[in-house]
Amino acid sequence: MSQMRAQRVGEQMKKELSDILMREVKDPRVEFVTVTGVDVTGDLQQATVYFTVLGESEEEEEETLKALRQAKGFIRSEIGKRIQLRKTPDIEFDFDESIAYGNRIEKLINDLKKEK
């Protein structure tokens, strides 16, 4: 039962985080961020936010991660205002590697098709 609630809270956080990052955070390093998922622990105390960055250079990813970590307090307070929970989960940001991995696999498959 609590795992199902954690998933619902994660989906709501994902929706609200996307809106906060798009409209509220004014840091130019956070302009092209897409939230791909949020994992919330069963006790709703911690949340890991997975994101991707348009452009995908290593420097842009690192700068965006730094900016998100600096804005963590503001983002957490905004989440607390928008989602009615007893305690707002502690947020940790992590880069989502699955998009880059999928692009790499697609490129390999296309290269194999060209060789035939």
DSSP symbols for 29-50: GGTTEEEEEEEE-TTSSEEEEE
The pLDDT tens digits for 5-55 are 889 999 999 999 999 999 988 888 888 888 999 999 989 899 999 998 877
Give the contacts of 22 (CB within 8 A, at least 6 positions apart): none
Whether the predicted pLDDT of 1 surpasses 90: no
Q: 39: burial class by Cβ within 10 Å (0-12, 13-18, 19+)? A: middle
What pLDDT score does 102 carry? Answer: 86
pTM above threshold 0.85: no
What does the chain come to in residues? 116
User: Is the pLDDT at 77 greater than 80, yes or no?
Assistant: yes
Q: Which pLDDT band holds residue 56 (cuts at 50, 70, 90)?
A: low
pLDDT at 89 over 90: yes
Say what the pLDDT of residue 60 is: 82
Q: In this predicted structure, what is the pLDDT of residue 114?
A: 86
> Residue 28, by phi and psi: left (phi above 0), alpha (psi -120 to 50) or beta?
alpha
